[in-house]
Amino acid sequence: MSTISLTTDFGIADWYVGTMKGVILGIQPRANIVDLSHEIPPGEIRAGAFALAASCRFFPKETVHVVVVDPGVGSERRAIAARTMNGFFVGPDNGVLSWALARERIKAVHQITNRRLFLHPVSNTFHGRDIFAPVAANLSRGLPIEKVGAPIKEFVKLDWPEPQRSANSIKGEILYIDRFGNAITNIDRAALPSPDESAWEIFLRRKRLCALQAFYQAVARGQPMAVSGSSGFLELAVSGGSAAQNFNLKVGEEVIVRVRSGF
């Protein structure tokens, strides 16, 4: 058995994801196909990039990760496949693979041009079905990556919003809001200005919001907190509730961590 992960903005109401799986299983019947998310907001390349980067290292070696968040489908944008020490990454060359690839040891990146691998006629609106699914299934079966097309040196990389550090504080932003209303920031726990967790205070909109806690129920129900989240980043949360809703948080909003005076 071999694993193929799918990340798209297709939603699950229509037949698009299921059709990709039908195409994959026709080529590689032994695929374990895993849905990473199909609820990436339409065309939101950064959300797709973050979902993949936050999860791909938990998959088996040799997994083929397919991401189709592809507003430029049918245009001149390239399609690419990358081989790393851990597996394969397949998708449009619009940056959606780039945050995951930034953490990988890349062995090769190839443009996907071999039309013999595609479904025909190739539509101009659904390369997930006609190009990415058959290419991923073939890679999963052992097709050498050289067969998908010529190697390329450069591919589109999204900027990572780097937090700004000073002596006693770090300024970051909200990257992603999850289903629980937890707001995941770009502030890496390892980057925090003091090793003593009790020294940290989190500020939102120039006002102190909360302290850092070890887990969600460490504060009373309805109270805000920050935790070191499962993706390795600082998260704002509300115990038994939704931080996003309580504080009307949005992606891109500024979050500041300061060392308390006295530390």
Binding-site ranges for a copy of itself (CB under 8 A): 1-3, 5, 7, 10-19, 21-23, 25-26, 29-39, 42-43, 51-52, 54-56, 58-61, 63, 71-75, 119, 123-126, 129-130, 178-180, 214-218, 227-230, 235, 240
Looking only at Cα atoms, what is the longest distance across the chain?
69
Closer residue to a copy of itself, CB minimum distance, 26 or 151: 26
Of 35 and 146, CB closest to a copy of itself: 35
In the complex with a copy of itself, the residue whose CB is nearer, 160 or 171, is 160
Q: Are 29 and 57 in contact (CB under 8 A)?
A: no
CB atoms inside a 10 Å sphere around CB 188:
15
CA 226 – CA 200 distance, rounded (Å): 10
Q: How far is the CB of 42 from a copy of itself (least distance, A)?
A: 6
Alpha-carbon gap, residue 80 to 96, rounded angstroms? 11
Residue 6: what are its φ and ψ, rounded to 5°? -120, 130
- Residue where the block lists tokens 């390329």: 152
Q: Which is nearer to a copy of itself, 13 or 167 (CB)?
A: 13
Give the shortest CB-260-to-a copy of itself separation in angstroms. 22
**247 CB-near residues (< 8 Å, 6+ apart):** 204, 209, 224, 236
CB of 79 to a copy of itself, least distance (A): 14
Q: Toward a copy of itself, which CB reaches closer, 220 or 262?
A: 220
Least gap, CB of 53 to a copy of itself (angstroms): 9
Helix (H) or strand (E) segment spanning residue 30: none
Min CB(262)–a copy of itself separation in Å:
26
